[in-house]
Amino acid sequence: MNNKLWAGRFSKELNKVADDFNSSIPFDSRMYSQDIRGSIAHATMLGMQGIITIDEAHTIINELVKIEEDITEGRLEIDMTAEDVHMFVESVLTERIGDTGKKLHTARSRNDQVALDVRLYLKDETDNIIEDICSLIEALTDKADEYKDAIMPGYTHMQRAQPITFGHHLMAYVSMFMRDIERISEASARMMSASPLGSCALAGTTYNTDRQRTADILGFQYPCRNSLDGVSDRDFAIELCAAYSIAMMHISRLSEEIILWSSWEFKFIELDDSFSTGSSIMPQKKNPDMAELARGKTGRVYGDLMTLLTIMKGTPLAYNKDMQEDKEAIFDAVDTLKACLGVFAPMIKTMRPIRENMYAAAQKGFINATDVADYLVGKGLPFRSAYKITGQLVGKCVAEGKVLDNLSLDEYREFSELFDEDLYGFISLESCVSRRTSYGGTSPESVASQIEYAREFLDAFKIDEE
């Protein structure tokens, strides 16, 4: 005997191997509470429309509430032999309240049900992710505030370029993560605009449903306008996964810097022991494993995005079982991003920047050469001529193993009569940094205003969230 809910037209039971292959419960069971929330909204609407009686709606809703509590509190174990979470919840409901439970699936299909559940799941998790990004921004901003005057070399092509501050460098990541929050919340808002519930299997229904009602109850703005699209659209998952991938790319770039900075070659930072690991053979080792893992896990999330895009590229309208494959990719992307954010905020909070090492590195590499040229420009020389003279001075330093700061005034004057005593103050690292007061630049005041903006952004976001 076939014990499936859809068993009516079959004369044989599903082959065991096929049953296992077909089943999604091992992974979709995590959406039980979203599934129940959707069913409660649906039952409410059925009752209000007179499709089932108000009493029946109450009975169904009360039992669904209990089922949710029972699962959450461990009194009801999810049956891993069920086909999927939707069937599991419905069959427990029917076991408990009998025939009334069988009315829940009126004017609904698993196709609109799953399209809804995945949206509700992603909405909940996206809210958590945004909160986690906020914590990371807070950790970076606090560290930037503490080190907004710590001078380090800024790089282009991985070559020392111009002096910047460590605070300025960290605030660049804050800009990226603020964009991530905007991108992710925009995608989430778009996802929550149109409700698929009530699209039914594909064609809509003959019952007198009120799709705006269920949309309102579940936090959507309106019902989706086309039922075929409603059941088969997974754009929202792709879009969110793309936004998650970009956030992972930012985490990965930061990871790469943390790995470099904690190497003996740089030693700009020291990670806290509680966020570092050792080697089983080399007793001296202290490894930045968290950052390396996050860099590695970025590939998983990109892979999840590619999985979703590839699942969808060849599916004709409307629902196809291929779409069941979306869930593991979505869940993996969510889990991975959350795990990385979870470890990064406290790792940044506890990391110890080493000012003297950053400063010492900034003293090498002629990173104040632009400022020597700017000095000459200030004395009236065109920039290109100033640039050429400075290049020759750097050439002399390289040949003689000197740095720009300790060439004598006579040596400078061999190249231009415009050089004077005030040059040395002008090209000190501190003045190079503090003169870069342009909007967004590296001067401590400019970084302070970037920090102020980030804090306002976080506050505004928290108010929005409430």
Beta strand pairing status for 269-270 and 222-223?
unpaired
Cα separation of 278 and 210, whole Å?
A: 61
Q: How far is the CB of 328 from ligand ARG (least distance, A)?
A: 10
> Are 308 and 241 in contact, with CB atoms under 8 Å apart?
yes
Segment contacting ligand ARG by CB under 6 A, of 297-305, 319-327, 361-369, 457-465 = 319-327
Beta strands (DSSP E) in 145-193 are: 151-156, 159-165
- Taking the complex as a whole, the smallest distance from the CB of residue 133 to ligand ARG amounts, in Å, to 28
Of 193, 263, 279, 449, the catalytic one is: 279
Which of 53-61, 110-118, 239-247, 336-344 is the region at the interface with ligand ARG (rule: CB under 6 A)? 110-118
Q: Which residue has the tokens 């032999």?
A: 81
Q: Which of the ranges 108-116, 210-218, 251-259, 366-374 carries the binding residues for ligand ARG, by CB under 6 A?
A: 108-116
Please give the residues from 26 up to 45 whose contact with ligand ARG meets the rule CB under 6 A: 28
Q: Name which position in 37, 103, 110, 148 contacts ligand ARG (CB under 6 A).
A: 110
Nearest to 276 by CA among 252, 298, 259: 259
The answer to whether residue 157 is catalytic is yes
CB of 238 to ligand ARG, least distance (A): 16
Of positions 92, 114, 241, 337, contacts ligand ARG by CB under 6 A: 114
Cα 410 to chain centroid distance, Å, stands at 56
Residue 261's contacts (CB-CB under 8 Å, 6 or more residues apart) are: 267, 268, 269
Q: What is the smallest separation between the CB atom of 221 and ligand ARG, expressed in angstroms?
A: 24
Of the candidates 49, 106, 315, 324, which one interacts with ligand ARG according to CB under 6 A? 324
The smaller minimum CB distance to ligand ARG, of residues 24 and 245, is found at 24
For ligand ARG, which is the closer residue by CB, 295 or 327? 327
Check binding of 112 to ligand ARG (CB under 6 A): no
How buried is 411 (Cβ within 10 angstroms: 0-12 exposed, 13-18 middle, 19+ buried)? middle
Cβ nearer to ligand ARG, comparing 315 with 363: 315
Mask 266-305, x = binds ligand ARG (CB under 6 A)? ----------------------------------------
Query: What tokens appear for 77 in the block?
Result: 């174990």
Q: Should residue 24 be labelled a site residue for ligand ARG when binding is judged by CB under 6 A?
A: yes
Question: Which span (7-15, 89-97, 318-326, 450-458) binds ligand ARG, by CB under 6 A?
Answer: 318-326
Identify the sign of the CA torsion 165, 170, 171, 175.
Answer: positive
Task: Give me the least distance between CB of 325 and ligand ARG, in Å please.
Answer: 8
> What's the CA gap between 186 and 206, in Å, rounded?
35
What sign for the dihedral angle of Cα 81, 83, 85, 87? negative
C-alpha 197/C-alpha 30 separation (Å) is: 20
Q: Which of 59, 111, 141, 199 binds ligand ARG (CB under 6 A)?
A: 111
Report how many residues bind ligand ARG under the rule CB under 6 A.
Answer: 9
Which helix or strand (DSSP H or E) is residue 133 part of?
Answer: helix 110-146
Please choose, out of 109-117, 213-221, 259-267, 288-296, the segment that lies near ligand ARG by the rule CB under 6 A.
109-117
Q: Does 312 bind ligand ARG (CB under 6 A)?
A: no
Is the C-alpha dihedral spanning 400, 403, 406, 407 positive or negative?
Answer: positive
Q: Could you say which of 157, 274, 408, 438 is catalytic? A: 157
Q: Which is nearer to ligand ARG, 71 or 271 (CB)?
A: 71
Q: Which amino acid is at 322?
A: D
Q: Which of residues 77-106 bind ligand ARG (CB under 6 A)?
A: 84
Angle among Cα 268, 273, 279 to the nearest 5 degrees reads 95
Q: What angle do CA 191, 195, 196 make, to 5 degrees?
A: 105
| CB atoms near residue 156 (< 10 Å) | 8
Contact between 52 and ligand ARG by CB under 6 A: the answer reads: no
How far is it, in rounded angstroms, from Cα 163 to Cα 343?
A: 30
The nearest distance, CB 3 to ligand ARG, in angstroms, is 16
- Which H helix or E strand runs over 269? strand 269-270
Q: Which of 107, 323, 337, 451 contacts ligand ARG by CB under 6 A?
A: 323
- The residues binding ligand ARG (CB under 6 A) are 24, 28, 84, 110-111, 114, 321, 323-324
Residue positions annotated with a catalytic role: 157, 279
